[in-house]
Amino acid sequence: MNLETKEIALVKQKANEAIKGVDNIKITSGPTFEVAKNILCKITDTQKIVKELRESMTKPINDGLKKIREFFAPVEDNLKSANEELKAKMMVYNNKVKKEAEEDKENIVAKVENGDIDFEKGSQKIAKVDEKIESMPTRKMRVIEIIDEAKIPKQYWVLDMITIRRDALAGVQIDGVKVVEKEIIVSKN
């Protein structure tokens, strides 16, 4: 699929011209600084045009994706919930079977020790019990649980830069943070 249109081609050409201007300029005097300001304005204008053009093409796609996700979300949520519920029920049964199997093994071992059954027959019965347990597919996973957040070392904390910036610029004093002013070049249209 070729997305290249006349409009996109013109924007690309305009962007390339602005970029070439940056490559070729040496700012050594007031007049060359003025030329640089004009190039900066062209770059800024072109960036705005590119953004608008890109968004005009992606917004309908993003809106469509959002609607599709919203359409399937209830079904996916219900399936996820059913999946988790069924797995939980299966784990309860699996734990029950494992517990019964351990009890059966203990009884078999006791019978072998008492001489009620011979060692070979006991081994065969234990193998059948183990076979019953192995027929249930499970997997061990390692997960973490936060027991006490206050004890977690600082290296695992994540800063919320948006909140910090908003509060600091609003005048809130935050230890370890200061507001500094940086001078930057802006393009004026």
Within-domain flag for 178: no
Give me the percent of the chain exceeding a pLDDT of 70: 97
Q: Is the pLDDT of residue 1 over 60?
A: no
| Inter-helix orientation angle 30-114/119-134, to 10° | 150
Residue 136 pLDDT greater than 80, yes or no: no
Tell me which long-range contacts 52-55 makes (C-beta under 8 A, separation of at least 24): 53/7, 53/8, 53/11
* Pairwise CA distance, residues 40 & 31, whole Å: 14
pLDDT recorded at residue 157: 87
pLDDT at 165: 94
Phi, psi of 50 (to 5 degrees): -60, -45
pLDDT for 3 equals: 67
Q: Where are the alpha helices (DSSP H) in the chain?
A: 6-24, 30-114, 119-134, 161-169
Percentage with pLDDT > 90 across the chain: 41
Q: Chain-wide mean pLDDT for the chain?
A: 88
pLDDT tens digits, one per residue of 36-90:
999 999 899 999 999 999 999 999 999 999 999 999 999 999 999 999 999 899 8
183 inside domain: no
Q: Which of 8, 1, 2 has the alpha carbon at shortest distance from 56?
A: 8
Taking Cα atoms as reference points, which of 53, 49, 51, 25 lies closest to residue 39? 25
Residue 186 included in any domain: no
The answer as to whether 187 is a domain residue is no
State the pLDDT at residue 189: 61
Residue 66 CA to residue 68 CA, distance in Å, equals 5
Average pLDDT (109-125) is 85
Phi then psi for residue 79, to 5 deg, are -65, -40
Nearest Cα residue to 8 out of 50, 44, 43 = 50
Number of domains in the chain: 1
Q: Is the residue at 48 inside a domain?
A: yes
Does the pLDDT value for residue 10 go beyond 90?
no
**Domain contains 188:** no
pLDDT tens per residue, range 137-162:
778 888 888 889 888 888 888 989 99
Mean pLDDT of 7-30: 88
Q: Output the pTM of the full model.
A: 0.53
Q: State the residue range of the domain holding 57.
A: 6-169
Lowest mean pLDDT: which of 21-25, 130-134, 154-158, 180-184? Answer: 130-134
What is the average pLDDT across 18-27?
88
* Residue 181, domain member (yes or no): no
CB contact set of 129 (below 8 Å; sequence gap of 6+) = 101, 104, 105, 108
The verdict on residue 89 lying in a domain is: yes
